[in-house]
């Protein structure tokens, strides 16, 4: 049953005086204050190791430098993935992507991976996070364990604005130690620093962003240290660097060279010996270090010096998205090996620019060879990580392969002609441009770029799928379907291909077929929002209101609801007679929409059913005379009038009768409140 003028009054008319119930109060929780440090963890997005710190060229970062002087500077810290979400997922779980399953942005960290904030919250820490990009919105799974998770639906928020919000938050004092994570996104492209850095860094706006972030970091540190009454620990780390043209890469994500893999990292806190550490370390160990700082002793903590390890990393986007060679990095001592179809070997201490590939003369160490051989390559677009991904704490006991990311023994699909990412740098700029246009839904403009990518690299799954979606969104179904066929041929098992095809069908006459496809997609990827959103619409169209409600609620656990969705939730709840839920949804929609709220009739009817006559009166009085169901509003208003014993009730009944339509005439004739007339 869909909402239209012939069926809707029926839904309204069945709402007769029901009683709702209200939920109980939340349980109390007490925490014992202990003298553990308050911990500030700051992530600097897109910040190269050589753009920050005392040795940085072309920019001053006095705040970071002062921290480095107070604490331990890790001069050779490596990210696990040169991409925001997977890198943060590693820092928050202590796992390589093979362990936590997030190899790219726009995936979701599965709920069965315990994250840092959950551990600290359980021991009485007051947890809060402030993130500055949509890429880290709570829907992607990093919000768990944070009592406050201040995220955004917009692409970017400035460091100044984020810092303002943190400072505001810190005005509420805490008797518990804090875990505060703050993420700054400014250094990410496009580079547009505010003044004075816009002028000062007119020739290098990227460094201007870095300088601005350093200044905001200063404001943040001041507020944090002023707030803390006990000891403090501070960690500042990059999530990945930026190519800036090195090795042919402008941004990040497609290659595994030093400019994008090596990040700044400084650690300040009780028991941390000041100085500079030159052993390679992975930022994933921030997880273990923070646990240790919080009193949860951990052998992988970086607070103490530990045995050198093989540091691993990966850049799988070209493999997962375009079908190119999977790319894994291993670093031990001065030696760094990048494996992508074949090995490149560098001495990154002698040759930090990685210009001399030593692979013809130097054999990688045994430890590096073993680590690379065992590094699990994900299966593109197929299954997410299995439940209970193992921790790399077990590294000493097990080989990396035992992480078992690749599900059910599936062999990763590497196409025979898969190019090495470094041989495809000529396409990077087009890919990055196309990606930006696609995300902004500029489909007409993106088509020629995607066609160009496909002309060079016809097996490129991302380009094929995006092209199909662009044609579909422009209503060019034949081109879209032909490209979906090609995408299916490239990656027969890809859940993404199925998802985008289903979304295409949902747009047109095949929408009912799309329903079962989306259900399967959701089974595989339970937190994929576009699938949940499209299926909710289909269930609404089919009149399957209970299922639609459940889907809308799932969506709203992943992100803040849009006002229009609250209206839809209210309507679905009303369709199945759930008065309390319906009232709650409509009330939230009204608060969000203000004067644009259009569901006063529904809300009035619901209040009446809930015997909240005064609120029913107010809502029904707001229904405008031009409302298509105005006759229903008059009828309901007359009922309320009798129940409230208003002096003009007779006139209201008369008016409802006079202006009755097919939906209300019969109801008025049978209404006992009206027959009895004025109650004594």
> Least distance from C-beta 47 to Zn ion, angstroms?
9
44 φ, ψ (degrees, to nearest 5): -105, 105
| Euclidean distance between CA atoms 649 and 671, whole angstroms | 14
Closest CB to Zn ion among residues 38, 435: 435
> Least distance from C-beta 105 to Zn ion, angstroms?
8
> Least distance from C-beta 589 to Zn ion, angstroms?
35
| b/e sequence 237-254, b meaning 16+ C-beta within 10 Å | bbbbbbbbebbbbebbbb
Distances (CA, A) of 20 to 17, 207, 580, 587, 620: 10, 59, 5, 15, 20
560 φ, ψ (degrees, to nearest 5): -65, 140
Closest CB to Zn ion among residues 258, 610: 258
Q: Are strands 265-268 and 232-238 parallel, antiparallel or unpaired?
A: antiparallel
Helix (H) or strand (E) holding 28: none
Closest CB to Zn ion among residues 134, 438: 134
| Euclidean distance between CA atoms 143 and 136, whole angstroms | 9
| Euclidean distance between CA atoms 67 and 493, whole angstroms | 49
> Least distance from C-beta 354 to Zn ion, angstroms?
21
- Residue 279: alpha-carbon gap to chain centroid: 33
Q: Which of 87, 79, 91 is nearest to 107 (CA)?
A: 87
> Least distance from C-beta 252 to Zn ion, angstroms?
7
Q: Please list, in sequence order, all residues whose beta carbon lies within 8 angstroms of the beta carbon of residue 195, skipping any fewer than 6 positions away.
A: none
Map residues 655-674 to x or -, x wherever contact with Zn ion holds by CB under 5 A: --------------------
Map residues 168-187 to x or -, x wherever contact with Zn ion holds by CB under 5 A: --------------------
| Euclidean distance between CA atoms 614 and 603, whole angstroms | 12
| Euclidean distance between CA atoms 606 and 592, whole angstroms | 19
Q: Name the β-bridge partners of 43.
A: 183, 237
> Least distance from C-beta 129 to Zn ion, angstroms?
15
Closest CB to Zn ion among residues 107, 568: 107
> Least distance from C-beta 313 to Zn ion, angstroms?
14
Helix (H) or strand (E) holding 233: strand 232-238
> Least distance from C-beta 262 to Zn ion, angstroms?
14
Which range in 153-161, 239-247, 356-364, 542-550 contacts Zn ion by CB under 5 A? 239-247
Which range in 52-60, 237-245, 298-306, 575-583 contacts Zn ion by CB under 5 A? 237-245
Which range in 93-101, 235-243, 274-282, 407-415 contacts Zn ion by CB under 5 A? 235-243
| Euclidean distance between CA atoms 449 and 269, whole angstroms | 49
Closest CB to Zn ion among residues 242, 610: 242
Closest CB to Zn ion among residues 84, 254: 84
> Least distance from C-beta 539 to Zn ion, angstroms?
36
| Euclidean distance between CA atoms 206 and 106, whole angstroms | 25
Which range in 42-50, 364-372, 378-386, 669-677 contacts Zn ion by CB under 5 A? 42-50
Map residues 84-123 to x or -, x wherever contact with Zn ion holds by CB under 5 A: x---------------------------------------
| Euclidean distance between CA atoms 523 and 22, whole angstroms | 32
Q: Kindly tell me which residue out of 40, 43, 45, 668 binds Zn ion, with binding defined by CB under 5 A.
A: 45
Which range in 38-46, 60-68, 342-350, 645-653 contacts Zn ion by CB under 5 A? 38-46
Closest CB to Zn ion among residues 78, 607: 78
Closest CB to Zn ion among residues 283, 331: 283
Which range in 43-51, 299-307, 434-442, 501-509 contacts Zn ion by CB under 5 A? 43-51
Closest CB to Zn ion among residues 206, 613: 206
Q: Are 166 and 144 contacting, i.e. CB atoms less than 8 angstroms apart?
A: no
- Residue 260: alpha-carbon gap to chain centroid: 22
Which range in 89-97, 197-205, 234-242, 653-661 contacts Zn ion by CB under 5 A? 234-242
Q: Which of 491, 376, 298 is nearest to 100 (CA)?
A: 376
Distances (CA, A) of 39 to 170, 231, 295, 426: 13, 9, 12, 44
Which range in 37-45, 265-273, 522-530, 562-570 contacts Zn ion by CB under 5 A? 37-45
**Total residues interacting with Zn ion, rule: CB under 5 A:** 3
> Least distance from C-beta 141 to Zn ion, angstroms?
16
Instruction: Kindly identify the residues of this chain, within the stretch 390-419, that bind Zn ion according to CB under 5 A.
Output: none
Q: Name the β-bridge partners of 73.
A: 266, 276
Q: Are 400 and 374 contacting, i.e. CB atoms less than 8 angstroms apart?
A: yes
Closest CB to Zn ion among residues 239, 395: 239
> Least distance from C-beta 48 to Zn ion, angstroms?
12
Map residues 47-86 to x or -, x wherever contact with Zn ion holds by CB under 5 A: -------------------------------------x--
Give the nearest residue (CB) to Zn ion. Answer: 84
Asked if 242 touches Zn ion (CB under 5 A), the answer is no
Q: Which of 453, 447, 455 is nearest to 471 (CA)?
A: 447
Closest CB to Zn ion among residues 91, 385: 91
> Least distance from C-beta 258 to Zn ion, angstroms?
16
> Least distance from C-beta 318 to Zn ion, angstroms?
17
Closest CB to Zn ion among residues 260, 641: 260
Distances (CA, A) of 487 to 132, 463, 505: 34, 9, 15
> Least distance from C-beta 155 to Zn ion, angstroms?
12
| Euclidean distance between CA atoms 148 and 49, whole angstroms | 30
Q: Are 542 and 526 contacting, i.e. CB atoms less than 8 angstroms apart?
A: no
Q: Name the β-bridge partners of 347.
A: 335
Q: Which of 228, 256, 216, 225 is nearest to 240 (CA)?
A: 256
Instruction: Kindly identify the residues of this chain, within the stretch 248-287, that bind Zn ion according to CB under 5 A.
Output: none
Closest CB to Zn ion among residues 85, 267: 85
Closest CB to Zn ion among residues 45, 615: 45
Asked if 239 touches Zn ion (CB under 5 A), the answer is yes
> Least distance from C-beta 544 to Zn ion, angstroms?
40
Closest CB to Zn ion among residues 227, 239: 239
DSSP letters, 542-562, are TT-HHHHHHHHHHHHHHSPPP
> Least distance from C-beta 133 to Zn ion, angstroms?
8
Around Cβ 576, how many Cβ atoms within 10 Å? Answer: 14
Closest CB to Zn ion among residues 84, 90: 84
| Euclidean distance between CA atoms 303 and 543, whole angstroms | 58
Task: Give the footprint of Zn ion on this chain (CB under 5 A).
Answer: 45, 84, 239
């Amino acid at each position: 049953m869909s909402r239209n003028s012939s069926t809707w009054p029926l839904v309204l008319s069945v709402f007769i005086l029901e009683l709702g119930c209200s939920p109980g109060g939340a349980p109390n929780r007490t925490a014992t204050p202990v003298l553990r440090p308050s911990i500030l963890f700051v992530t600097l997005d897109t910040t190269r190791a050589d753009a920050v710190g005392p040795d940085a060229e072309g920019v001053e970062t006095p705040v970071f430098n002062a921290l480095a002087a107070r604490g331990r500077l890790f001069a050779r810290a490596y990210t696990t993935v040169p991409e925001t979400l997977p890198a943060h997922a590693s820092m928050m779980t202590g796992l390589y992507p093979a362990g936590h399953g997030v190899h790219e942005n726009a995936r979701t960290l599965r709920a069965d991976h315990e994250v840092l904030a959950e551990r600290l919250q359980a021991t009485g820490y007051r947890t809060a996070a402030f993130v500055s990009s949509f890429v880290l919105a709570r829907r992607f799974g990093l919000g768990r364990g944070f009592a406050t998770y201040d995220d955004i639906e917009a692409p970017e928020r400035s460091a100044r604005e984020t810092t303002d919000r943190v400072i505001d938050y810190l005005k509420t004092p805490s008797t518990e130690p804090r875990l505060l994570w703050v993420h700054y996104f400014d250094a990410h492209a496009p580079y547009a620093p505010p003044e004075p850095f816009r002028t000062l860094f007119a020739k290098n706006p990227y460094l201007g962003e870095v300088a601005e972030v350093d200044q905001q970091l200063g404001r943040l540190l001041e507020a944090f240290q002023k707030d803390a009454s006990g000891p403090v620990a501070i960690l500042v780390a990059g999530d990945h660097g930026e190519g800036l043209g090195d090795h042919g890469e402008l941004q990040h994500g497609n290659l595994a060279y030093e400019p994008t893999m090596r990040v700044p990292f400084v650690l300040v806190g009780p028991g941390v010996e000041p100085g500079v550490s030159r052993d390679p370390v992975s930022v994933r160990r921030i997880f273990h270090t923070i646990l240790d700082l919080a009193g949860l002793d951990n052998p992988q903590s970086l607070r103490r010096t530990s045995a050198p390890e093989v540091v691993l990393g990966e850049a799988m986007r070209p493999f997962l998205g375009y079908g190119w060679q999977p790319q894994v990095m291993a670093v031990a001592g001065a030696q760094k090996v990048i494996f992508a179809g074949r090995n490149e070997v560098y001495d990154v201490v002698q040759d930090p620019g990685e210009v001399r590939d030593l692979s013809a003369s130097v054999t990688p160490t045994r430890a590096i060879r073993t680590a690379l051989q065992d590094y699990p390559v994900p299966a593109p677009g197929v299954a997410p990580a299995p439940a209970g991904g193992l921790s790399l704490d077990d590294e000493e006991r097990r080989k990396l392969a035992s992480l078992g990311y690749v599900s059910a023994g599936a062999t990763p699909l590497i196409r025979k002609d898969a190019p090495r990412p470094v041989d495809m740098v000529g396409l990077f700029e087009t890919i990055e441009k196309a990606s930006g246009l696609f995300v902004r839904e500029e489909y007409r403009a993106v088509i020629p770029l995607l066609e160009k990518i496909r002309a060079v690299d016809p097996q490129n799954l991302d380009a094929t799928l995006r092209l199909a979606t662009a044609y579909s969104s422009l209503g060019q179904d034949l081109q879209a379907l032909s490209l979906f066929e090609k995408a299916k041929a490239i990656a027969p098992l890809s859940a993404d291909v199925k998802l985008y095809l289903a979304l295409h069908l949902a747009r047109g006459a095949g929408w009912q077929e799309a329903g079962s496809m989306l259900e399967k997609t959701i089974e595989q990827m339970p937190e994929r929002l576009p699938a949940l959103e499209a299926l909710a619409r289909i269930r609404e169209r089919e009149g399957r209101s209970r299922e639609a409600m459940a889907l809308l609620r799932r969506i709203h656990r992943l992100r803040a609801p849009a006002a229009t969705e609250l209206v839809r939730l209210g309507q679905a709840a009303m369709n199945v007679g759930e008065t309390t839920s319906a009232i709650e949804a409509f009330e939230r929609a009204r608060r969000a929409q203000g004067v644009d709220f259009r569901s006063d009739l529904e809300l009035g009817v619901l209040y009446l059913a809930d015997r909240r006559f005064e609120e029913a009166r107010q809502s029904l009085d707001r229904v405008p005379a031009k409302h298509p169901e105005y006759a229903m509003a008059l009828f309901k208003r007359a009922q309320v009038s009798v129940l409230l014993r208003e002096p003009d009730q007779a006139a209201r009944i008369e008016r409802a009768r006079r202006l009755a339509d097919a939906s209300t005439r019969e109801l008025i004739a049978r209404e006992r409140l009206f027959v009895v007339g004025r109650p004594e």
